[in-house]
């Protein structure tokens, strides 16, 4: 079950300290309507329909091959569906691409310092330097990377690199942050540090949508579960209800550790 977040007050103060110039676009809710994705005659996403609202941490859960990453990429606009619609309904929906960010399972970092990685992303948005510096200091501090700001990004540990990718995305102040198996290759300590950072991002007002096949992590992080199997959405339900008693045979088998 989601745990009380000790970072909430600090993260809210952090957002206020970043100044009134933060340019978050409100693009939620997000609706998928009958989304189909096919490759070489194989249906990878099958009539996928759901709605994501502001607020709750939504975890897309399922076994390997369920379509979790594909669903995330369709939501983020990286993969156009073969059928169906992806609809952003917020007041700034026409600028949806600027209001969302995606952190991949393997961080894509530039050959420069941790600070410069974040700075480059903000310069692309034409953020003035004083505000860039303030945002960078804020997100690096909140992700426990400020003391490593001058270190080459590719010399950081795996967990530090993933937190840097998270910090870079957070600095853009997205309305929605998609995370694809963010802790898949991390040790327990690095996973804990990353999850704390994700909670801080969420507390700042950013909607978190993340994929995982790790049941323990889903219990710690999720407010709602979207359970996928073979490209189909079988359940979308509050996390507490899902873990107490899923409705489908496939979800019950998954919780028992059975191979689907």
Mean pLDDT by 10 residues, the chain (260 residues): 40 42 79 96 95 96 94 95 95 90 91 96 93 96 97 95 97 96 92 96 96 94 97 97 96 90
CATH number at residue 232: 3.40.50.300
In a domain, 171, yes or no: yes
In a domain, 193, yes or no: yes
In a domain, 2, yes or no: no
Cβ contact 178:156 at 8 Å:
no
In a domain, 260, yes or no: no
How many domains, the chain?
1
Q: Crossing angle of helices 114-124/129-142, nearest 10°?
A: 130
| pLDDT at 5 (0 to 100) | 39
107: left (phi over 0), alpha (psi -120 to 50) or beta: beta
| pLDDT at 25 (0 to 100) | 87
In a domain, 54, yes or no: yes
In a domain, 3, yes or no: no
In a domain, 135, yes or no: yes
| pLDDT at 62 (0 to 100) | 94
In a domain, 66, yes or no: yes
Range of the domain at 113: 8-255
| pLDDT at 19 (0 to 100) | 35
| pLDDT at 23 (0 to 100) | 62
């Amino acid at each position: 079950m989601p745990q009380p977040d000790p970072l909430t007050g600090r993260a809210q103060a952090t957002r206020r300290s970043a100044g009134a110039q933060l340019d978050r676009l409100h693009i939620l809710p997000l609706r998928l309507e009958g989304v189909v994705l096919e490759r070489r005659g194989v249906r990878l996403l099958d009539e996928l329909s759901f709605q994501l609202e502001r607020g709750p941490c939504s975890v897309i859960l399922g076994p390997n091959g369920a379509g979790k990453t594909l669903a995330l990429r369709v939501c983020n606009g990286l993969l156009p569906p073969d059928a169906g619609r992806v609809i952003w309904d917020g007041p700034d929906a026409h600028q949806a691409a600027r209001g969302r960010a995606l952190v991949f399972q393997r961080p894509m970092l530039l050959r420069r310092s941790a600070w410069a990685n974040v700075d480059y992303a903000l310069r692309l948005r034409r953020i003035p330097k004083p505000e860039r510096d303030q945002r960078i200091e804020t997100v690096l501090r909140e992700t426990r990377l400020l003391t490593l700001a001058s270190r080459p990004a590719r010399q950081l540990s795996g967990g530090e690199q993933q937190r840097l990718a998270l910090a870079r995305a957070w600095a853009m102040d997205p309305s929605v942050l998609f995370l694809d198996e963010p802790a898949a290759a991390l040790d327990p300590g690095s996973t804990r540090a990353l999850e704390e950072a994700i909670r801080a991002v969420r507390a700042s007002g950013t909607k978190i949508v993340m994929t995982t096949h790790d049941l323990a992590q889903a219990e710690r992080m999720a407010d709602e579960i979207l359970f996928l199997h073979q490209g189909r959405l079988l359940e979308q339900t509050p996390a507490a209800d899902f873990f107490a008693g899923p409705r489908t045979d496939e979800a019950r088998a998954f919780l028992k550790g059975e191979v689907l």
